[in-house]
Structure 1
Amino acid sequence: MPGPSAAAASPSAAAGIAEPWRDRLSLLLESTAEGIFGIDLDGRCMFANRAASALLGWPAEAMLGRNMHELIHHTRADGRHYPECDCPIFQAFRQGRPCRIDDEVLWRADGSSFCAEYASHPILGDGGEVLGAVVTFLDITARKRADAALREARDGLERRVAERTAELSRALDQLRELSGHLETVREEERTRIAREIHDELGSLLVALKMDTDWLAKRLEDRPLLVAKCHGMGSLIDTAVDNVGRIITDLRPSILDHQGLWAALEWQAQEFIETAELKGDVQLHVTHGVRPPEGERAIAVFRIFQEALSNIARHARATQVRIRVEVDAPPEPVLYIDVRDNGVGCEPQALAAADAWGVIGMRERAARFGGRVTLDSVPGQGTHLRLTMPLEDEAS
Structure 2
Amino acid sequence: MRQYYWLSRDLSEALPAQPSGSGSYGSFDSTLISVSTLRSALVLENGTLPQHSTYQDLANFFHAHPNATGVLVIFADPSLAAQPIGVISRHRFLTWQLQQQRWLEALSSPLETIPLWWQETQSYLLIDPQMPLQDVISLILERNPSSLHEPLVLREPEGASIVDTSRLFAAYTRLARSEQATLTDPDVENLRRQHQLILNAIGEGVYGVDLQGLATFVNPAATQMIGWEAAELIGQSMHKVLHHSHPDRSPYPREQCPIYAAFQDGIIHRVSEEVFWRKDGTSFPVEYLSTPMRDEQGNLIGAVVTFRDITQRKWAEAVLQRTNEELEQRVRDRTVELRQANEQLKELSELRSRVVSMVCHEFRNPLNNILLSVSSMGRYSDQLTPDQKEKYLLGITDNVERMTQMIDAILLIGKVETKGIEVRPSSFDLVAFCRDLAAELEPEPEHRRIQFACRSKQLPVTLDKQMLRSILTNILSNSIRYSPAHSPIQFRISKRNQHATFQIKDQGIGIPPEDLPYLFEPFHRGRNVSNIAGTGLGLNIVKRFLDLQHGTVKVDSQVGSGTTFTITLPIHQGVAR
Length-normalised TM-score, structure 1: 0.45
Greater share of helix: 1
Length-normalised TM-score, structure 2: 0.31
